[in-house]
Amino acid sequence: MTLSELAGKTAPQSLLTNIPRLVAHYYETRPLASDPLQRVAFGTSGHRGTSLAGTFNEAHILAVSQAVAEHRAAQGIAGPLYMGYDTHALSEPAWMTALQVLVANGVRVRVQPGVFTPTPLVSHAILEHNRRGNDGTADGIVITPSHNPPQDGGFKYNPPSGGPADTDVTKVVQARANQILEDELRDVQRVSLEDAMAGLEEFDFITPYVEQLPTVIDLDAIKQSGVHIGVDPLGGASLQVWQAIQARYGLNLDIVNTIIDPSFAFMSVDRDGKIRMDCSSPYAMAGLLRLKDDFDVAIGNDPDSDRHGIVTADGLMNPNHYLAVMIEYLFQNRPGWRPDAAIGKTLVSSALIDRVGAGIGRKVVEVPVGFKYFVSGLLDGSFGFGGEESAGASFLRMDGGAWSTDKDGIIPGLLAAEMTAKTGKTPSQRFADLTAKYGVTAYDRQDAPATPDQKKILGSLSPEQVTATTLGGDPITAKLTRAPGNNEPIGGLKVTTDQAWFAARPSGTEDVYKIYAESFKGADHLKQVMDEARDVVGAALGGQ
């Protein structure tokens, strides 16, 4: 991908979204149910789109909220539904629409009016309610497109397990929502906004989350050490959570940016010239990086706070690197966890995690892309940790109980401060120790063109279609189209050797496929692996 000349610079006026126009389109544009691009489509993180393209409009939210209400009734989910939303411009209008439909259907909706509510706080609230085992079973909704650009909106349903819904749920909800769209919303039940606001149950998401943080993080050690922490919420929903943490625990913590602006005009531009609140991107995180020497450790979160970015004096850590650091530290500093608690990783996360797992004597379970694959393990304690290469992770409480079963960008940030306080080394220094022990890793991700037919073929390959026997000069040890940890289809291909691997997956939104690759033999070898990966995939596609 070509680096934009704007990358890392403050967004110019020409890039900013016209918020009134965006919101007007949310209410006025009617999506075409006959257009596949304008139908409800649940990906790994719910339904996403923009009102400007007819892909995230009031009609979508009316339909999907009605579908969720019907699903709850069919499943006997009779407890409260906890609903949060982030700081994207379309999130609050969609929150209000969903509230009108849910209340009309007799759903007890628990919200914190006037307060943005991050994804991990919704997951935490669901689990806390269901742990108590009374007042019915609870579930939740988060209105967020995560780190996506300002013009985007998103809708995510979390069932009683507290984490992202699996396909057995999303397929049902998606099909019913599209049927409702096709029937011109005739089956949607809806009350006025005034009646909806009168019918909601007000709930404080922040206080119980913040007060229970000592069950998952050693905050006393952080406070006593005086570790200086910087926080940039990137204009997101974590701002009030960090303010509450600061007030409650008296940490040496500075919030460097308190701006909430739905145009995200304060952001520095991402690599491709778009405004994107990606806390794993050094370009999007340029503002915090300029302050890296002012803090022992600094933390960034995306708008719904399910991702983390860790900055030290050495710069922004690669997400894969910090996953490995967290795993190595946690499994040696959480004696209350089950001795057989495993490490959950996605198949495009670093192989350094496998080496760390072997070194500390813990099983590594490799699953397809999608945090939903970690939910059951985090819920029952069989996974101590689950993490994705895209800077999403969660882990257990100190006693081995579930904290959140969705990605939580706040606790990885606090963990960076804990490990700095207790070991005297920053996460980047601890990563240097890991590479000295397990090897230096080079990692990259690139896109390659692919037609819709080629993407379909790639998504359904069999290992036998891969004829190559070597990769980067080393014998191929595995050709995978199913994840070794749970035998689920990976929707693509992964090829491994003892010193490198690559994975190729079709994009769900663009005419490209994504190639991930890693080598323990350096950058030149990584380039060779990446080049050969294109050839291997091309041959497997058979020239289609």
- The DSSP bridge pattern shows strands 442-449 and 512-519 to be antiparallel
pLDDT averaged over 10-residue windows placed end to end, the chain, 544 residues = 90 97 98 95 90 98 98 98 98 98 98 97 98 95 97 98 96 97 98 98 98 98 98 98 98 98 98 95 97 98 98 97 98 98 97 98 96 97 97 98 98 98 98 97 89 87 89 96 95 95 84 91 97 89 62
161 among known catalytic residues? no
Question: What pLDDT, on a 0 to 100 scale, did the predictor assign at position 1?
Answer: 59
Among 282, 256, 254, 288, smallest CA distance to 269 is for 282
* Residue among 65, 91, 146, 225 flagged as catalytic: 146
The CA distance from 110 to 68, in Å, is 15
Question: What pLDDT, on a 0 to 100 scale, did the predictor assign at position 512?
Answer: 81
Cβ count within 10 A of residue 471: 25
Q: What is the pTM of this model?
A: 0.96
The CA distance from 123 to 386, in Å, is 15
Q: What's the one-letter identity of residue 7?
A: A
Counting DSSP H helices and E strands in the chain, the numbers are: 17, 23
Question: What pLDDT, on a 0 to 100 scale, did the predictor assign at position 405?
Answer: 98
Question: What pLDDT, on a 0 to 100 scale, did the predictor assign at position 43?
Answer: 84
Among 242, 230, 320, 314, smallest CA distance to 280 is for 320
Asked if 485 contacts 365 with a C-beta cutoff of 8 angstroms, the reply is yes
The CA distance from 238 to 300, in Å, is 10
Question: What pLDDT, on a 0 to 100 scale, did the predictor assign at position 135?
Answer: 92
